Structure 1
Amino acid sequence: MALKKIDIKELTVNPMTLISDEWLLITAGNQERGYNTMTACWGHMGAIWGQGKGLPTTVIYIRPQRYTKEFIDWEQLYTLSFFPKKYKKALAYLGTHSGRDGDKISEAGLTPVFGTDSTWFEEAKLVLVCRKLYHAPLLEEGFTDRQIVERNYPERDFHEMYIGEIVAAYFDSDKE
């Protein structure tokens, strides 16, 4: 069965396990201008802003040296693709290889799907299409727990945070 468009409020997932344990791909760009993807295990889903109720949003974090960051910065949309467990090896590969150096997506065995100004993957069980609303760098002076800085940022290459409104969601309940 193929991915079907759903109302984001119909989605029932545990974002902690979905992001932290199962991982995801952050992708930006399209077939015409080019695209890139990266594996992530940090992020958030929730609601913020809006008039009387929060907009459905995601928060992603990207280090400045990542190739995908160039695409995120150029484009208005990015996608988050979540996969069945059998794709964990492919996600690990994509997290350790750069798209600057070759066609890592083909090497990982994934099939890109091109939407209007966005890209995701045929093998995904869940895709969130997000429109950038805000981004800013994490700042060293903002950390109240200094151990986080020492453990995660020894080179002081702090992530940039991006908040995106979820503008479309696609789900395939048969892919588990």
Structure 2
Amino acid sequence: MLELVTADKLQLDIFSVFGTNNGLLMAGDKNDARVMTIGWANPGRTWNIPTCIVYVRPERYTYEYMERFDYFTVSVLPMALHDKVIYCGIHSGRDTDKIKNCGFPLQYGMGDAPFIASADWTLVCKKLYVQDLSPKGVTDSRVLRSYTREGWHRMYIGQVVEAYHQKAE
């Protein structure tokens, strides 16, 4: 079970998490939720507001939930559960119930935003801004390597309204 803390109390080493262990993005509510693995996330401050920025391609099933719900969550699981992060990255929610198949115990934050209770930490975010990324904005050709097969991501900037971390035993 995760406990609620103030966001400024979290000590997040985002450079070692994203791209290595990765995170899980969830959107939905107590009746219906979706989860997907994300390798990109930017916790920090935007407009002098604590925020987390995530990116979702329109082809992803979770995209529909990101569009429909006002809140989303970003969770990082312990490395002991890394196989579940991998599972959520290679299976689509269109074909399988990833939450059920992984046996994820859920908790709910503000706006009934679902997150995984066994995570090391979770950010609950309320959407503030949404914009599609575009090749028109690219200033370095290395960016184009991420866009050889699928569409461009939509960026979601969410205000961090709650932060949770694993209780010390």
Q: TM-score range by the shorter chain?
A: over 0.9
**Structure 1 counterpart of 2:156, one-letter code:** Y
1:147 corresponds in structure 2 to: 142
Are 1:121 and 2:119 an aligned pair? no
**Max Rg structure:** 1
Match status 1:133 vs 2:128: yes
TM, length-normalised to structure 2: 0.93
Partner of 2:37: 39
Contact 1:83 1:125 in 2 (8 A): yes
CA contact (8 A) 2:35 2:98 kept: no
Q: Report the CA distance between 1:156 and its aligned residue.
A: 5.3
Residues 1:147 and 1:11: Cα distance change in structure 2 (over 3 Å): closer
Q: Distance in 2 between matches of 1:93 and 1:85?
A: 13
Name the stretch that deviates more: 11-20 or 131-140.
Answer: 11-20
1:1-176 pair list within 5 angstroms: 2-32=1-31, 34-49=32-47, 54-115=48-109, 116-149=111-144, 151-155=145-149, 157-174=151-168
Output one character per residue of 1:7-55: Cα deviation in whole Å (capped at 9) or x when no partner. Answer: 11111121111222221110000122x1101001111111011xxxx11
In structure 2, runs of 5+ residues without a counterpart are none
**Inter-partner Cα distance in structure 2 for 1:148 and 1:91:** 24
Q: Secondary structure at the match of 1:134?
A: strand
- Quick one: percent identity of the two aligned structures? 33
RMSD of aligned alpha carbons: 1.5
Consecutive unaligned residues of structure 1, counting only runs of 5 or more, are none
Deviations 1:90-134 (A, max 9, x none): 000001111111212222232222344210112111111000000
Judge conservation of contact 2:3–2:167 (CA < 8 Å) in 1: no
Q: Which 4+ residue blocks in structure 1 deviate beyond 3 angstroms?
A: none
TM-score by length of 1: 0.90
